Amino acid sequence: MQQAWFRARLLGSRDEKAQGLLDLMQDLLDLDSFSVIRPLICKRLLELSEASGRHPHCFALPGLQKVGLQVAAGGFGDIWKGLVRGQIVSLKIVRLFEDSDIKAVLKDFTREALVWRQLCHPNLLPFFGVYYFDTRLCLVSPWMENGNIMQFLKREPIMMIMVRVSLMLDVALGLQYLHEQKVIHGDLKAINVLVTPSRRACICDFGLSSIVNEITLQLSQSSSVGQKGTPRYHAPELLRPRGKKSAGSDVYAFGCVCYEILTEKVPFYEEKNDMSAMLQVLDGKRPSRPVSCIGTPQLDSLWDLLQNCWEDDPQKRPKASQIVDCLVGPLIHATMTSSTTDWDEKFTSRFRRSSQARPLLPSIPQIERMLFGDGDEGLEPTEKTDSPELGRQNKRRHEDVTSAPNSSDNIHPELKRWRSD
């Protein structure tokens, strides 16, 4: 998959050939046996989705309805409540204006869905699927009544330090998993951490996430600081020319999240604007230690950990796994939140795919025919090498999952292109 000629052929696939390859790559990503080349498969999946304007069939979530009024607004999406078979869900609906670059917005939105779908951990908000509502694409996830971690803390201000430290551990465990999967979050901050009904912290919003390979080459999305993000959470290297997001910049942002959990204030809250805060960081300054965080060996150890996360040199910052070890160690002694299930797994895209009749994975010759043979063949059986049952299974595979029923002749041409069959 690394050769230039292979990549060119792959990204030249369109229509049903592209759809078959996208579904195949998603199947491979769901198998543990492909973990070694997982980042590369993810890269090709993202690239082919962008080139073809499609996503894997298993992403489609049918039977959804919007409930009530808009709840909040994100970077490029509005948040609504929804309902799927009696389950309250969160809808992040793409926001389009008359002068929007619709193709670029849809590319970002679909990219987030593709990265998000590959992740599965108790401390990450799960991905339920995509839906086309009123001609607009939306991403579906569980509804979190407790809101983000700052909203949660403001409702319960007299929260013991041990509970706050447990929330920090939840975030650290989620970040450790992301980095093990070679994913850089890129926009970690308190409002991107939700609290489940069992009071477990979950990282959300993967719109600025990047996938990296073993030698830390960016495989998706440019990571220069000039693009997007929240300046008060930016590591110093991101404020300098040609700064690149990395696991180290995520760790710096994690320190800022912990600061908010401790103080219920944003980093450099004394500064009235982001530019002043950025200048403080570039000058080597870090968030000040409040009086409320002084007085016990536990708080001293916790503050030392934050200082390490805020090191100017990203190489000197601890890894997420080391942060977890420090938090659960004898000095801070954080305890893990209960592993109670806070959402119904049956609503996840991963569960829907596993419950479908999964065809046998194609052989190498079959994949070669998909790429280099007749573009209409796909995975259809041949007399010599393919079984008729495999062909029938693959045909059923494309019929099993359909996109939402609410189509419209007034859909923008780019939206029509980005709808799955």
- Residue 411 has what pLDDT? 42
Per-domain residue ranges of the chain: 4-54+356-408, 149-328
In the chain, what is the greatest distance between 2 CA atoms, to the nearest angstrom? Answer: 78
CA dihedral (137, 142, 143, 146) in degrees, to 10, reads -140
Q: Does 366 have pLDDT greater than 80?
A: no
Q: What is the DSSP string of 32-71?
A: GGG-TTHHHHHHHHHHHHHHHT---GGGB--SEEEEEEEE
Section 252-276 average pLDDT? 94
Tokens 């599965």 -> residue: 120
Q: 241: which 2 tokens?
A: 């020319």
CB-CB contact of 203 with 123 (8 Å) = yes
Residue 282 has pLDDT above 50, yes or no: yes
Where does the pLDDT of residue 295 fall: very low under 50, low under 70, confident under 90, or very high at 90 and above? confident
Spell out the residues 6+ positions from residue 311 whose beta carbon is closer than 8 angstroms to its own: 317
Which residues, in sequence order, are bridge partners of residue 210?
A: 184
Backbone angles phi, psi at 202, to 5 degrees: -130, 130
For residue 260, the 8-state DSSP code is H
Tell me the CATH number for domain 149-328. Answer: 1.10.510.10
State residue 365's pLDDT score: 66
**pTM (global) more than 0.95:** no
